[in-house]
Chains A and B, each alone.
Chain A
Amino acid sequence: MSSVFALLLARESRLLFRRPAELVNPLVFFAIVIALFPLAVGPESQLLQTLSPGLIWVAALLAVLLSLDGLFRSDFEDGSLEQWVVAPQPLPLLVLAKVLAHWLFSGLALVLLAPLLALMLGLPARCLPVLLLSLLLGTPILSLLGAVGAALIVGLKRGGLLLPLLILPLYIPVLILGSGALQAALQGLPATGHLLWLASLAMLAVTLLPFAIAAGLSISVGE
């Protein structure tokens, strides 16, 4: 069973590396959205610093969401998902591997890019550990929740704006906790509470959401 998990991870990484644009696009999107804000609200550094926790988190959240839109689409179209559903391997395990692979490349890259953009927004360097940790704990939740939506709409010809509509309301706790952690750090307060909450939500998401994703995929495949 664990060998299938490892094999799927390897397969997904291979697929992602043979089409690197899909990895890079969300990162570029993330950077552009961050760059839009100084242009919209003005370059005043004090204001940008105050806003930076929220800006970074909103941009990261949108980037993760957009990168997930096509998570299962090609697998759906070429019949791979049917093969997963009829296979003896538990589907929740397979989807967990798939989402993990996606996060390992696209999510992790986003986490690594974030400090650079945060510094450009004037976030002090002492806040960077909290930024990294909160994104590290928060983005897997975003990926898993987004995957539920992606699984539900994979059969639709034009999913379009549906995914954000379904999933963004569910992202709110992560947004509050993540940007809250960063804001606390910015004010020189301890952020441990936020981070612990994020960690427990991440545990909850990893244990429960693969089942919801699997249910969504079975429904979409069975249509």
Chain B
Amino acid sequence: MRNNGIHVHQLANQLLVLTQEVHAAPVATCWVWYRVGSRNEINGHTGISHWVEHMLFNGTPDFPKGTLDRIVARNGGVFNGFTSHDFTAYFETLPADRIELGLQIESDRMINALFLEQDVESERTVILAELEGKANYPETWLDEAVKSAAFTLHPYRQPVIGYKNDLLAMNRDDLYHHYQTYYMPNNAVLVLVGDFDTSALMERVEHYFGGLPTGPTIPRVYAVEPEPQGERRVTINRPGPVPYLQIGYLVPDCRSTDFVPLFVLDAVLSGAKSLAMFGGGAQTNRSARIYKALVETQLASSASSSFWPTIDQFLFELEATVHPDRDIAEVEAALTNEIETIQRDGISAEELARVTKQMRAQVAYGAESVTNQALLLGLWEMIDTYQRSGQVLDQLATVQAADVQRVAQTYLTRQRRTVGHFLPTNTGSISTVA
């Protein structure tokens, strides 16, 4: 099946393969996406998806620990992996004539990762160090507090990296069971974008992945976050440089017909943003509403909105770094006022047109990189369908200014929000010793 330059293949073992030839530069990228993330985690096992992701860099019989990064480097490539709420992804971006290496690595570690006891133990402390590195930043404490207040039962309340006590308690069998449950062709999507010939490459895909067994049925996630019954407020008091504000409104998932109007609302508030993570986007926030109202007025040194597509209902967020001379309450009032102004007066036709133009440019910048193109295909396939990665401009064209006002009125209410304050407990608590 072919759709907009994207070929869709399904192997007999149910592995979905998306390929897109791009001959702009002699590079290609190989991604494997698994439909598992912190959304799939239960109490006591928080962080297990992220830890399993780390274990896939710890060796197989064919690629023992410490060889994978060297072989990718030797072939002029880069590789990495990351875990999110809704998915786990791995990629290799390589000179085009080396793309088969990606197929070999990913097919091998889909099934053959060793999870040796001593590697599990050493990775436990690596992840604790990753967690402690994040905890050095005050924003991490605030974000965790906002998420855990905004979600009462949905796993989106848990940090992707997990809670420290769970990371101390889980063992090799827990991790290996998670791996065997979710890391199967029927729960994976292979995405290949770049300078290759599809039919020749598909022959190699079949060679590497065709023989892998289909896994068990994937456990469903039943959690549905209940309707909030009133505003929630959290405060973090810790050492820190300045106050930070974070507000999250519970909003629909990416399949909702209200998703695209919310996406436009985010762009009206702080510029159209690319979902592409590997560079290339343009900064478009300084002419948008929040920058004018918060940064230009010197209430905050930075402020923005953010909205990310997810499988289940998530948060539409507002964030601000409070100017040291200002009160966080003033900043909160000003941010809230920006939302209430749109609820009352709507947005202008010019703003809608500007968002569309900005998005058209962001799509073009993102398309300069095969890594970004594959990221968008895989990301959308994880949460809905890959087809949406090419539909963003068409979908924007269907949005009316009144839709944006309506979704602001419906979802960005005090009833549906969690307000977080980070209030520093110290000033000038730095000392140096020789």
Q: Do A and B bind each other?
A: no
Binding site for B on A (CB under 8 A): none
